[in-house]
Copies of this chain bind each other. A is one copy, B any other.
Amino acid sequence: MSRVLVVGSVAFDSVETPFGEVDDALGGSALFFSTSASYFTDVDLVAVVGEDFPEEPIDDLEDRGVDTTGLHTQEGETFRWEGRYGYDLNEPETLDTQLNVFGDFHPELPEDYREDDFVFLANIDPSLQLEVLEQMQGPEFVALDTMNFWIDNKPDELREAIEQVDMLLINEMEARQLADEANIVQAAQHIRDMGPSFLAIKRGEYGSLLFTPEGTFFAPAYPLEEVYDPTGAGDTFAGGLLGYLAREGEFSESRLRQANVVGGVMASFCVEDFSHNALQAVEQKDIDARADQVERLVDFESIDAIE
């Protein structure tokens, strides 16, 4: 079992969906990622919060096997995001973003984090993702997430970071934008030509596509009867994926396929309630049961050749 390092945000989210709303709920990519990954392995977390951030959620993370030595508390307020989803629960409308202490964030990795073998560079400024990579001592597997904002505003730094990682995780729309190609199979090829051997394209309720040197894998999403809030689903997916790989300590084709299924399963819990409420209440047997259901969801007998 290897540890996994995550560098990202810890934040307060205020979210409105057709099914309800929350104010100043716990959020941020590093929070969702580490909660999810903690079901599989130990996590080292690097992020920054303000003096207004409470102790309890940090203690909760520690209880889950998340090392928070790298979670710095800085003078000022914690990063806040406010957004609203429509009935389709796809992309949210951002109503307000207050970077606060996150605006001056420069990740400083504790000495022992630098030896971690599995790394997740959550969706932050690619310049900061590069700063993390410079501090690492030869990790085995680095995955990076990004978004349209960085594709538009820091294209050079982003390309430099993408060149150096093993895996890119990205939404379908953003994959098209990054590759400047509408067809998703061709977009995937373009992106893998930029550097990463592995590419996971996230398609929300439709699941995810994994592109590797050995082929293409489709991990379906678990069909849910209730979806309350998709915030954090992508980071939760990444947490399951990287957490599972780190637990197994390898990233063969077979492990990567399983890891993508596990990521989808973890995301399916995340969206069933606001913040990471449902995610952190999950028991390991629930994860196993849902992974079995996903296996049955795509199970069919080989089709006999046509005569």
Contacts and interface: CB of A to CB of B under 8 A. Distances in A.
A220 interface: yes
A88 B291 CA distance: 31
A209 interface: yes
A300 B217 contact: yes
Q: Which of A207, A225, A303 has the most CB of B within 10 A?
A: A303
Given A287-B306, A306-B39, A306-B287, A225 B183 contact: yes
Nearest to A261: B300
Contact of A303 (B18, B206, B225, B291): B291
A57 interface: no
Contact of A227 (B183, B215, B220, B262): B183
Given A183-B225, A185-B223, A218-B298, 6 more contacts: A185-B225, A209-B223, A220-B298, A257-B301, A258-B301, A287-B306
Interface of A: 18, 39-40, 87-88, 182-186, 203, 205-207, 209, 215-220, 223-227, 254, 257-258, 261-262, 284, 287-288, 291-292, 295-303, 305-307
